């Protein structure tokens, strides 16, 4: 163990312990140079002299450092401290996927596909680099506070171009997620990872793994021999197309599985489409894996390949042979002391009878289930246990009437009488789920705001002139009516009428010279004279940060009110260490759309960015435009390049890399 406060590599100050493993311990640390939190994995002191363990640790660092992807935990630094190898990774402040499933199951199917899409995207890159993870499981998948997935622990990953990828002495990884060929010590391929991905998808949908057992061997045999339990029997609402993704990914024979993670991703993304609603159940074409030798611990290696059942039977026979002398001694002792054993047997029967009598009599009383609606989970638990009942599963549901974190109902319901000691399932509210955006166009602005804020939306106001809409009434809204969204994560911009644009009552405005003046002056002038100010941040060696470099139209120009003035504002001189890149671009307005209803709102624009703080999987900006609009978006690029994607009315019009 490393003590808190220790400065590792003269740079990383240990703050706390995050986890302890068989090979390494993980610590939360602070990078005192960049002043950020990082996760540091340090090889255990007692293992630093074991060459195989050191090699595995180095292999993880090498495999992960070669994979630059927003859904893979990034390796920031590798080094040694007093001979002890360590690896510095980005710190993911959030739960692992196992804990997330336990806390939030059952999950919404769209959320499940969003999570799996990120995992598959990461594995597409890993497999492209010929890296097989071999230990994919929810415990190795982290989730940050924004819901972004990060795959970790490539400690037992292998590269396809290495000399050997067949393990002949042990089974690695978690047996609950391992493919049949892995448990048999067979050839490990990309399809082995795909099998694990199928099991993870099964657990996301159902909340549990498909197979459990008393030992690793028992679970491995089930993976090799038993069909995956039906998801639709557990939840008939799950589409057959989605279950088929699980069935194909977890086929016993690798030839029946998806050829690639990309193929699985494409199938998963359309699994909720109405066109696939009548899809038949997936049926594999081949039998089980051809590999026969099981290498799991407690399974003896044999020269001649045997089936799992033969091996288990052989172990039982050996155990019986070893027990024969004991059985003979036991029979002799029983004969010598038969009266003593008879007395003990009668006493045991009497004790069992008394216990049965006590238990059955205590259970006869029935108890009414208390009403715990609108109580907190903890208060509901206390109330249920106080009357002699037990809390079973905690299930989460969306509710429009019960606040988040409060109890919606119980199962069985309140008032029903059941025996003492029985389990009661409790349903807890997750708050509102997806709700339909109302149509507030034409409504008075104050009325529209009250309505949207009551539903949980954030509202932004933008003003514009209108010949058809009364002043202070809503002209348009940034998200169309009837679109289903989560209010707590959605901001709606309302364009509000300023009335008719009567130029006779509003004379032209003459622009002063804003060059080398503070941005605040231009903002004050624009607000006073009804102008639209568009600001483009720009790096400059000559103009001090915060001052205006240039303007368009030029100073002295007379323009009408409601016109747009574009100013470039200095961000100062860009240094080599500066991680912020400002990308400026223009989205043109397309007025060729024949749909009149669409024209009323304008073009629907969605902007996606990828940098150190954002993922392309999430929308960065969602809005409607009725004219050409310039955008200046800052990208944080401490590590690698970013990406910009712009979608207008459902079609991608811009997709390009952003570099430092």
Q: Residue 252: what pLDDT? A: 94
Mean pLDDT of 193-219: 93
What lies within 8 Å, CB to CB, of 564 at 6+ separation is 531, 532, 533, 534
Percent above pLDDT 70 for the chain: 77
Residue 128: partners with Cβ closer than 8 Å, 6 or more residues away: none
| Lowest-pLDDT range of 111-115, 135-139, 147-151, 327-331 | 327-331
Of the ranges 65-79, 240-254, 433-447, the best mean pLDDT one: 240-254
Beta strands, E only, 135-229? 141-143, 149-151, 158-159
Which CATH number fits the domain that encloses residue 27? 3.30.200.20
For 42, 169, 469, 532, the CA distances from 463, given in Å and listed in that order, are 57, 71, 12, 10
pLDDT at 323: 40
- Of the residues 91, 116, 135, the one at which a domain ends: 91
Residues in CB range of 517: below 8 A, 6 or more apart: 547, 548
Mean pLDDT of 355-360: 52
Q: Do residues 440 and 407 both lie within one domain? A: no
> Is the per-residue pLDDT at 502 higher than 60?
no
SS in 3 state form for 5-38? CCEECCCEEEEEEEEECCCEEEEEEEECCCCEEE
Q: Which of 463, 565, 468 is nearest to 512 (CA)?
A: 565
Q: For residue 155, what pLDDT is reported? A: 54
What average pLDDT score do residues 437-455 get? 88
Q: Of the spans 74-83, 156-165, 195-204, which averages the highest pLDDT?
A: 195-204
pLDDT at 598 over 80: no
Predicted confidence (pLDDT) per residue in 400-416, tens digit = 667 778 898 898 888 88
**pLDDT category of residue 293 using cuts at 50, 70 and 90:** very low
Residues 80 and 141 in one domain: no
The residue among 326 and 71 whose pLDDT is bigger is 71
| One domain, residues 28 and 112 | no
What number is the average pLDDT over the span 383-393? 89
Question: In the structure, what pLDDT confidence band is assigned to residue 597 with cuts at 50, 70 and 90?
Answer: very low
CATH at residue 212: 1.10.510.10
Catalytically annotated residues: 135
**Mean predicted confidence (pLDDT) in 537-555:** 86
Query: Which of the listed residues 91, 117, 152 is the one where a domain comes to its end?
Result: 91
Could you tell me the residue range of the domain that residue 107 belongs to?
95-305
- Higher-confidence residue of 200 and 575: namely 200
Q: Which pLDDT value is given to residue 70?
A: 83
Q: Are residues 58 and 177 in the same domain?
A: no
How far apart (Å, rounded) are the C-alpha atoms in residues 134 and 138? Answer: 13
The pLDDT of residue 367 is 86
Strand 12-20 to strand 24-31: parallel, antiparallel, or no bridges (unpaired)?
antiparallel
pLDDT, residue 634, reads: 79
Are both 29 and 117 inside the same structural domain?
A: no
Q: What is the pLDDT of residue 21?
A: 66
Read off the tokens for 113: 């596909």
Residue 131 lies in a domain: yes
Instruction: Give the model's pLDDT for residue 620.
Output: 79
Would you state the pLDDT for residue 637?
81
pLDDT band, residue 641 (cuts 50/70/90): confident
Q: What per-residue confidence (pLDDT) applies to 286?
A: 81
* Judgement on whether residues 41 and 103 belong to the same structural domain of the protein: no
Judge whether residue 292 has pLDDT over 70. Answer: no
Q: What is the pLDDT of residue 309?
A: 45
Query: Is 354 among the domain residues?
Result: no
Q: Per-residue pLDDT for 489 more than 80?
A: no
Q: For 325-356, what is each residue's pLDDT tens digit? A: 444 443 444 444 455 556 666 666 666 666 65
**331 lies in some domain:** no
**Between 622 and 265, the higher pLDDT residue:** 265
Task: Kindly write down the DSSP assignment for every residue of 454-502, as one continuous string.
Answer: HTT-EEEEEEE--SSS-TTBEEEESS-TT-EE-GGG-EEEEEEE-----
Res 81 pLDDT > 60: yes
Residues 80 and 103 both lie in one domain: no
Decide if pLDDT at 298 tops 80. Answer: no
Average pLDDT over residues 615-638: 79
Mean per-residue pLDDT, 556-580: 77
Phi, psi of 633 (to 5 degrees): -115, 125
Q: What is the mean pLDDT of residues 482-488?
A: 73
Q: What is the CATH number of the domain that holds 623?
A: 2.60.40.2560
Check residues 195 and 495 and name the one with the higher pLDDT.
Answer: 195
Domain count, the chain: 5
pLDDT at 270: 92
Least confident of 117-131, 408-422, 479-493, 637-651: 479-493
Tell me, yes or no, whether 101 lies in a domain.
yes
pLDDT of residue 363: 45
Mean pLDDT (the chain) is: 79
Q: Are residues 238 and 111 in the same domain?
A: yes
Instruction: State the pLDDT at residue 370.
Output: 92
Question: Is 404 part of any domain?
Answer: yes
Looking at 39, 67, 91, the residue that finishes a domain is 91
- Same structural domain, 275 and 371: no
Residue 14 above 50 pLDDT? yes
pLDDT at 177: 93
pLDDT confidence of residue 352 = 60
Averaged pLDDT, 109-124: 92
Lowest mean pLDDT among 55-69, 250-264, 621-635: 55-69
Q: Is residue 361 part of a domain?
A: no
Q: Residues 621-641: what's their mean pLDDT? A: 78
Percent of residues, the chain, with pLDDT higher than 90: 23
Reply yes or no on whether the pLDDT at 280 is more than 90: yes
Report yes or no on 358 lying in a domain. no
pLDDT at 49: 66
The pLDDT score that the predictor gives to residue 120 is: 94
Residues 101 and 62 in one domain: no
* CATH code, domain carrying 405: 3.30.10.20
Asked whether residue 543 is assigned to any structural domain, the reply reads no
For range 525-544, the mean pLDDT: 81
Do residues 289 and 179 share a domain? yes
Q: How many residues does the chain have?
A: 660
Q: What number of other Cβ atoms are within 10 A of residue 383's Cβ?
A: 16
Give φ, ψ of 88 to 5 degrees: -105, 125
> Are both 125 and 109 inside the same structural domain?
yes
Distance of CA 589 to the CA centre of its chain: 35
| Among candidate residues 625, 654, 660, the one with its CA nearest the CA of residue 640 | 660
Contact present, 455 and 435 (Cβ < 8 Å)? yes
> Is residue 315 very low, low, confident or very high in pLDDT (cuts 50, 70, 90)?
very low
CB atoms within 10 A of CB 234: 13
């Amino acid at each position: 163990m490393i003590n808190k406060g220790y400065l590792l590599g003269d740079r990383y100050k240990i703050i706390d312990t995050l986890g302890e493993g068989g090979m390494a311990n993980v610590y939360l640390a602070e990078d005192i140079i960049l002043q950020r939190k990082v996760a540091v994995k340090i090889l255990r002191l007692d293992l630093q002299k074991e060459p195989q363990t050191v090699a595995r640790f180095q292999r993880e660092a090498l495999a992960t450092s070669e994979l630059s992807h927003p859904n893979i935990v990034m390796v920031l630094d590798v080094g040694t401290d007093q001979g002890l190898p360590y690896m510095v990774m980005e710190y993911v402040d959030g739960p692992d996927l196992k804990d997330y499933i336990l806390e939030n199951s059952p999950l919404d199917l769209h959320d499940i596909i969003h999570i799996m899409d990120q995992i598959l995207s990461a594995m597409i890159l890993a497999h492209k680099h010929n890296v097989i993870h071999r230990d994919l499981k929810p415990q190795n998948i982290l989730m940050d506070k924004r819901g972004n997935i990060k795959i970790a622990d490539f400690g037992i990953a292998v590269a396809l171009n290495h000399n050997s990828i067949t393990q002949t002495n042990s089974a690695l990884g978690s047996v609950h997620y391992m493919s049949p060929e892995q448990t048999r010590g067979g050839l490990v391929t990309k399809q082995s990872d795909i099998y694990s991905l199928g099991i993870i998808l099964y657990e996301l949908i159902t909340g549990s793994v498909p197979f459990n057992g008393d030992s690793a061997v028992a679970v491995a045999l089930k993976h090799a021999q038993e069909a995956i339990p039906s998801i639709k029997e557990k939840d008939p609402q799950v589409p057959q197309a989605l279950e088929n993704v699980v069935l194909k990914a977890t086929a016993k024979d690798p030839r029946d599985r998806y050829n690639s993670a990309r193929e699985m991703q494409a199938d998963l993304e359309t699994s909720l489409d109405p066109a696939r609603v009548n899809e038949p159940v997936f049926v594999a074409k081949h039998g089980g894996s051809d590999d026969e030798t099981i290498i799991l611990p407690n399974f003896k290696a044999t020269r001649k390949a045997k089936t799992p059942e033969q091996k288990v039977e052989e172990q039982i026979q050996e155990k019986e042979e070893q027990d024969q002398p004991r059985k003979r001694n036991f029979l002799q002792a029983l004969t010598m002391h038969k009266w003593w054993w008879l007395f003990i047997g009668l006493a045991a029967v009497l004790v069992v009878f008394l216990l049965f009598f006590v238990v059955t009599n205590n259970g006869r009383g029935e108890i009414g289930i208390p009403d715990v609606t609108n109580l907190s989970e903890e208060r509901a638990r206390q109330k249920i246990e106080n009357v002699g009942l037990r809390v079973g599963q905690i299930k989460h549901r969306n509710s429009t009437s019960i606040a988040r974190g409060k109890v919606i109902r119980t199962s069985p319901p309140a008032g029903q009488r059941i025996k003492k000691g029985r389990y009661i399932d409790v349903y807890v509210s997750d708050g509102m789920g997806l709700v339909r955006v109302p149509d507030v166009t034409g409504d008075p602005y104050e009325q529209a705001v009250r309505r949207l804020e009551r539903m949980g939306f954030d509202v932004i106001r933008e003003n514009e002139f209108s010949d058809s809409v009364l002043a202070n009434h809503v002209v348009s809204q940034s998200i169309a009516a009837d679109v289903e969204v989560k209010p707590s994560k959605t901001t709606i911009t309302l364009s509000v009428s300023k009335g008719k644009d009567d130029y006779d009552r509003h004379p032209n405005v003459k622009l002063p010279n804003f060059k080398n003046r503070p941005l605040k002056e231009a903002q004050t002038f624009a607000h006073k004279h009804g102008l639209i100010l568009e600001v483009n941040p720009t790096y400059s060696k000559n103009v001090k940060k915060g001052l205006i470099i240039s303007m368009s139209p030029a100073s002295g120009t007379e323009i009408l009110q409601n016109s747009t003035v574009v100013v470039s504002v200095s961000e100062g001189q860009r240094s080599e260490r500066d991680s912020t890149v400002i990308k400026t671009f223009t989205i043109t307005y397309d007025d060729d759309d024949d749909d009149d209803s669409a024209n009323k709102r304008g073009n629907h624009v969605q902007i996606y960015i990828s940098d150190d703080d954002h993922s392309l999987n999430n929308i960065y900006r969602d809005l409607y435009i009725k004219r050409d609009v310039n955008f200046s978006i800052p990208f944080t690029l401490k590590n690698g390049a970013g990406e910009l994607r712009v979608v207008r009315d459902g079609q991608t019009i811009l997709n390009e890399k952003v570099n430092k």
